[in-house]
Amino acid sequence: MASYVKDKNGTWRVSYVYKDWAGLLRKSSKRGFLTKREAKEWYENFSLNKAKDLNMSFELLVESYIEDMRVRIKLST
Provide, rounded to the nearest whole percent, the portion of the chain with pLDDT above 90.
Answer: 30
pLDDT of residue 16: 92
pLDDT of residue 53: 64
pLDDT band at 28 (very low <50, low <70, confident <90, very high): very high
Sheet with 25-33: list strands edge to edge. Answer: 3-6, 12-19, 25-33
pLDDT tens digit sequence for 34-56: 999 999 998 988 887 776 666 77
For the entire predicted model, the pTM comes to 0.64
Is residue 43 classed exposed, middle or buried when 0-12, 13-18 and 19+ CB atoms within 10 A define those classes?
buried
Mean pLDDT along residues 46-72 = 78
